[in-house]
Each structure stands twice: as structure tokens, then as C-alpha cells.
Amino acid sequence: MKTLDQTWNLEPIFPGGSGSPEYKSFMDKLQNDIAGFKNKLEAVSAPITANEEAAFQSLIHMYEELSKRLTEAQAFVECLTAQDVKDETALERSNRIQSLAAQFEACETLFETKLRQIADNDWKTLMNHQESQGVRFALQEKRDLSKKKLPSEQEELISSLSVDGYHAWGNLYYTIVGKIKIPFDHPEKGKQVLSVSQATNLLDDADRNVRKAAFDALEKAWADNADLFAATLNHIAGFRLKTYEARGWSDVLDEPLDYNRLSRETLDTMWKTINAYKPVFVKFLDRKAKLLGLKKLSWFDVDAPLTHKSKKITYEEAADFVVNNFQRFNPEMADFARHASENRWIEAEDRPGKRPGGFCTSFPLAKESRIFLTFSGTATNTSTIAHELGHAYHQSVMNDLPFLTQRYAMNVAETASTFAEMIVSDAAQSAAESKEEKLGFLANKLERSIALLMNIHARFLFETRFYEERKSGLVSVERLNQLMTEAQKEAYLDSLDVYHPTFWASKLHFYITEWPFYNFPYTFGYLFSTGIYVRALKEGTTFAKKYDALLRDTGSMTTEQLAQKHLGVDLTTPDFWSSAIEYSIHDVDEFLSLTE
């Protein structure tokens, strides 16, 4: 088996790391060109007419090119700050990127205003032109969104203030987490000082004493810094709410629903259908508690392995397993995964100083992606590799499309990743050599279902309630803990005996300023991809082209339109959601049967 390097290679993007001279030159030119684009937009004094097709297309071209270059620069800095949270130069680069992003956001607001000002008849003519066909949906979306916002001068002010306000609070979160050191006395390895990501990996340990000790150590770390996290979360929410108020947006879900191209009716139907099926998943949690010799599971038991014999796997074994099982569904996915692992697109090394969590980011100019995680040899790590490779593959099938059409929403972004994860988890279960091993993999699948149907729901409930209370003023640490505990009890139907009150502090998703409500899209993606996966199982490799076609359309229509075109389903009714959840219910039934 070929040995794989577990550190990613960023040199083909910009050589020299955070001190890269090429990157600095790239940024300098980008800054000048953004300023030039703004000047050009400001020079457009009268509404664009149907007779100004060339000028109209020129603006679109400049907007697309600057968007790509800014995305390239942002992705590079994201990688630098994730691989080493103490890289001061990378943090400086990140601050500059945010400043440039705000400047470009001001251009974007002005660009959208110019689109809004075009007369309806002229707009129709311009959109019917051949060159506009590929980006028509994206341009129409921008025109419509502009009508919901403030005048461009006010939106520009909001963008400029967000650099040292809104986004700065988000950056502070990463700084606080990066400084946290967790003393831990491991029963086998002795006394250690762990990063947050290293301690979090211990929550999957087969030894309950290790899990509980890790949970307690993490809970203490979050509690010790709770005042800082509470201030950060409150001010992120405060900035967001004041912006909404100025725009006349009364519902905190308006922006995330727009971002996800999703209707409130679809979201409500999804959660309502999930709630109807939750009692079945509680049966799994109760049975798992019994198998572990417990009356009820604690928060740190939900993802616990069912046996002390859970074997560790090497990074190479995990990569090979992913590639081989992608091959069964789509040979092109397999080739892509092999290329990514062999060409060091993946940062997986288990070392201190890394950011917690995992992600995939893409470079539109290089037409490559990079994947970040911390690999410790667990089955969950293998699933994470598959998940993030799914994101990267999704981007790869869109690389030849206009950049405006590559901007798919987060909820459908999770489709390809969860689909890829399902392939690997089902394969692991099928490859099990004993009943005990099969139960382990089956439990792992169901734990993912619990995470997406219950854990994510708890986050959604917490965040919606927190924002409502934040409208009346700052929310205290004590109240944040209470809101989180209440949300978890409701989402899990109070099936656990120990909850995670400081989860609001531990989950970086609550602090992401670029994407509000970074929770429900995961659940949507999970169920949407489950429906797609069921079809793939029936059709085998012949489904591959249909799958790629669906992925390519994710940036050019609403979620409801996408589902209707490629699956023939109506997302505003419970039928589709029920069929997707019932696929997971089969796993519950099998688990209960095998453990009678």
C-alpha cells in the first residue's frame, strides 16, 4: 500500500506559505482592480438600457473575475489559519482579506443596485441575450435581493463597519479557541496537554472513563472562557439584528432562507416530518444505553463505540476504502478521490495547533480543492474524508460553468458530501466480518442520523430562541446554558441523562459570520442526499450521469426547482421527507433486531 503524506500541499496555489511574495502581489493587484471596478460602476450614472449590451456584459465579466480571485485568496488564507492557529502572518493576511472582501461587498451592492435600476423591459431583453443565458438565474437573484436591501450607500457603510465589528467578533472566536489548552490525564498515555480538536477526538473513545474525562475537561474549558464566548456570540447577533432591523427584515430566518434558496414552507415541513419520526430513533438510543450497561445515555455516550475492540485504521487504509467504494457508484468519483489523496489535497495530520473540525475549500482559478481534518484512525475519520471529498467532487463537476453559476447554496452543498458519506458507511457495514462489527457500523450510521435529525435540530431551536431574546438585549452565560439545555432536551425527546449546556460555546458554527444559521442546511442535505442515494442504489453506475447533472444545476435554480426537475418531488409536502427518513428507520429496525 502506497504511503500517503498527511499534510496538504499549498505550494501550487501560492508558494511560500503565509509569507508568499506571490500571494502578496496577487492581493495588491486584486485591491487595485476592486477599486477600479468600483470606479467603473460609479461611472454608470443612468440606468443601463437594452442598447448597452456590451457595457452590461463587461460589468458581468469584471464581477465574475474579481469574485474568482477573491475566492482564491480567501480559500488560501482559510487553509493557512486552519493548519496553524498561531500563525500571526496568516492572521494578518486574514484581516486584509476581510477588508478586501468588505470593499468587494460594497462593489457587489453597487452592482446589484445597477441591476435593480434597469427598466423591466430592458432587463427582459438583456436576459434573453445569448451571453446572459448561462448566468440568468444568478443575475435575477441578485436583482431581486437588491430590492430587499437598503440604498447602496448604506449597504456599503454596513460592509465597511463589519470588518472591525461583525467579522472581527467571528475571528475572535478562533483566537480564543486556539489559545485553549486542555490538561488531560490519559489512563494509558499519562498526563497530556491537548488542543480542542485532540480532546474532542477522545469523545469517541471506547473507554467510557476516557470519554467522560474528556467531556468534563472540555466542559470546564468552555465554562472557563464562557464570558468571552458569550460576549462574542452576543455581538455577532447584535450586529446581524441591527442590520436586519435597518432593512426591515423582521424574521431572522429571512437571510438564511434566501442564502439557501429555500422556502419557509419547505423548512417547516422538513422539521415537522422529522419530529413525527423521532420516537423511533429514541428506541435506538435506549437500546444502545442498555448495551452499554446504562439506564440512559449521556451526551458523551451518543457516539460511543459499542465495543472496546474497535480497531484503529491507518490513513492509507481509510483513503483506499473511500476510493474503492466510490468506484461502485461512480468511477469518476473514485478517480477524483485517488487524485486528491495522492496529490496532497488533504490535511489530516494529528498534531497540536490545528483548528478543530473539518472543511473543504475550493480554488476557482487553480480548479483544485483542499480538505482539512484531524485523522486519529477512527471510522468517523474515514466518514469525514468521504464527506469532504464529496464537497470537492461537487465543485469539480462545476469547474467549467460560469463562476456565477457555481455558487450553490449550503443546503445543496451538503448533498454531495452526505451522499459520499453514505456510500462509505454502507460499505463498511457490508464488509463487516462479524455480528459485533456489523453492529458497530450500523450504530455509526444511526449516530449520524441522530446528529443530523436531533443534534442539528437542537442547534436550530437554540439559535432561533437566542436571536429572539437577543432582540431585547444581551443574553447572559447562565441563560445561554439554559437555552441550550432546553433545546437539547426537546430535540432528543429528553432521552439523555446528561446534556451539554456549553455547546453554544463549543460549536464554531454559531460564530460563522459569512453564513447565518449554519445548521438546518446540514439536515436538509442529509435527507435530500438520502433520497438521491436510494435512487442510486436502484440504478447503480447508470445513475452517475444523472447525479452529475443534478450537481451541475445546484447553482442555477431554487432548491424546490432542483428537486422537481431531477427527482420529480415536491419538497413542500411531507412525502419526500418521509421516504428519506424511512430509509434510516430500516437501520433502526435492523439494529433492534440484531440486539434482541
Do 157 and 27 share a structural domain? yes
Whether 431 has a pLDDT exceeding 80, the answer reads no
Q: Are residues 80 and 136 in the same domain?
A: yes
Total domains, the chain: 2
| Tens digit of each residue's pLDDT (9 = 90 or more) over 198-220 | 888 888 888 899 999 999 999 99
Closest by Cα among 385, 412, 388 to 531: 412
Task: Write out pLDDT tens, residues 327-338.
Answer: 988 999 999 999
Cell numbers that stand for 156 in this block: 456599503
List pLDDT tens digits, range 34-51. 999 999 999 998 899 999
> What confidence score (pLDDT) does residue 98 get?
86
473: left (phi over 0), alpha (psi -120 to 50) or beta: left
Letter for the amino acid at 189?
K
Residue of higher predicted confidence among 77 and 85 = 77
Q: List pLDDT tens digits, range 469-498.
A: 999 999 999 999 999 999 999 999 999 999
> Which amino acid is residue 550, in one-letter code?
L
Question: Parallel, antiparallel, or unpaired: how do β-strands 346-347 and 368-372 relate?
Answer: parallel
Q: Which class for 500: exposed (0-12), middle (13-18), buried (19 or more C-beta within 10 A)?
A: buried
In one letter, which amino acid is 363? F
Q: Residue 71 is part of a domain; what is its CATH number?
A: 1.20.140.70
The answer to whether residue 22 sits within a structural domain is yes
Do 43 and 85 belong to one domain?
yes
- pLDDT category at 523 given cuts 50, 70, 90 is very high
Environment class of 27 (CB within 10 Å of its CB; exposed 0-12, middle 13-18, buried 19+): buried
If you average pLDDT over residues 441-447, what whole number do you get?
87
Radius of gyration of the chain, Cα coordinates, nearest whole angstrom: 24
Same-domain pairing of 156 and 78: yes
More confident residue, 405 or 430: 405
Clarify whether residues 144 and 70 are in a common domain: yes
Contact 203, 211 (CB under 8 A): yes
In the structure, what pLDDT confidence band is assigned to residue 229 with cuts at 50, 70 and 90?
Answer: very high
- Backbone conformation region of residue 438, classed left if phi is above 0, alpha if psi is from -120 to 50, else beta: alpha
The residues, ordered by sequence, that sit 6+ positions from 545 with a Cβ below 8 Å of its Cβ are none
The predicted-structure confidence for 350-401, as pLDDT tens digits, reads as follows 998 898 889 999 999 999 999 999 999 987 899 899 999 999 999 999 999 9
Separation between Cα atoms, residue 156 and residue 166, nearest integer Å: 14
152 and 209: one domain? Answer: no
Q: Is pLDDT above 90 for 514?
A: no
Does residue 150 belong to any structural domain of this protein?
A: yes
Largest CA distance in the chain: 76
Q: Give the E-state strand segments of 384-459 in sequence order.
A: none
pLDDT bracket for residue 468 (50, 70, 90): very high
Closest CA to 504 of 471, 473, 476, 472: 476
- Name the pLDDT band for 447 (thresholds 50, 70, 90): very high
Q: Is 238 exposed, middle or buried (0-12, 13-18, 19+ CB in 10 A)?
A: middle
pLDDT (mean) for 221-243: 96
**CA distances (Å), 9 to each of 73, 80, 241, 343, 347, in order?**
16, 11, 40, 8, 8
Do residues 214 and 115 share a domain? no
The whole-angstrom separation of Cα 298 and Cα 203 is 11
In this structure, what C-alpha cell is assigned to residue 32?
Answer: 487595485
- In angstroms, the CA 391 to CA 24 distance is 28
> Based on the domain organization, do 76 and 111 belong to the same domain?
yes
Q: How confident is the model at residue 309 (pLDDT cuts 50, 70, 90)?
A: low
In a domain, 268, yes or no: no
Statement to judge: residues 100 and 193 lie in one domain: no
Element housing 402 (H / E) = none
Predicted TM-score (pTM) of this structure: 0.85
The pLDDT confidence band at residue 59, using thresholds 50, 70 and 90, is very high
Residue 380 confidence (pLDDT): 82
Q: Residue 363 belongs to what H/E stretch?
A: strand 359-363
Question: Whole-angstrom Cα distance, residue 310 to residue 287?
Answer: 19
Question: What's the mean pLDDT in 496-510?
Answer: 96
Mean pLDDT lowest for which of 227-241, 468-482, 536-550, 569-583? 536-550
SS3 content of the chain, % helix, strand, coil (to 5): 70, 5, 25
pLDDT band of 308, cuts 50, 70, 90: low
Q: What is the pLDDT of residues 155-200, one digit of tens each?
A: 888 888 888 889 899 989 988 998 899 999 888 888 888 888 888 8
97 and 150 housed in the same domain:
yes
Residue 406 region, left (φ>0) first, then alpha (ψ -120 to 50), else beta? alpha
- Looking at per-residue pLDDT, the higher value among 569 and 432 belongs to 569
CB atoms under 10 Å from CB of 227, counted, come to: 12
The answer to whether residue 127 is domain-embedded is yes
The CATH number that applies at residue 191 is 1.10.287
75 has pLDDT over 70: yes
Q: Go through the chain and tell me how many residues it has.
A: 596
- Which phi and psi angles does 200 have, rounded to 5°? -65, -35
Question: Based on the domain organization, do 117 and 189 belong to the same domain?
Answer: no
CA proximity to 594, closest of 284, 184, 344: 284
> Is 142 among the domain residues?
yes
Other Cβ atoms less than 10 A from the Cβ of 137: the count is: 19
Of 12, 173, 164, 169, nearest in space to 81 by CA? 173
Residue 1 has what pLDDT?
Answer: 61
Q: Is residue 82 assigned to a domain?
A: yes
Cell output for 358: 473539518
Of 26-40, 133-147, 311-325, give the range with the top mean pLDDT.
26-40
- Which residue would you say has higher pLDDT here, 538 or 136? 136
The residue range of the domain holding 153 is 17-164
The DSSP 8-state label assigned to residue 185 in this structure reads E
The predicted structure's pLDDT at residue 594: 92
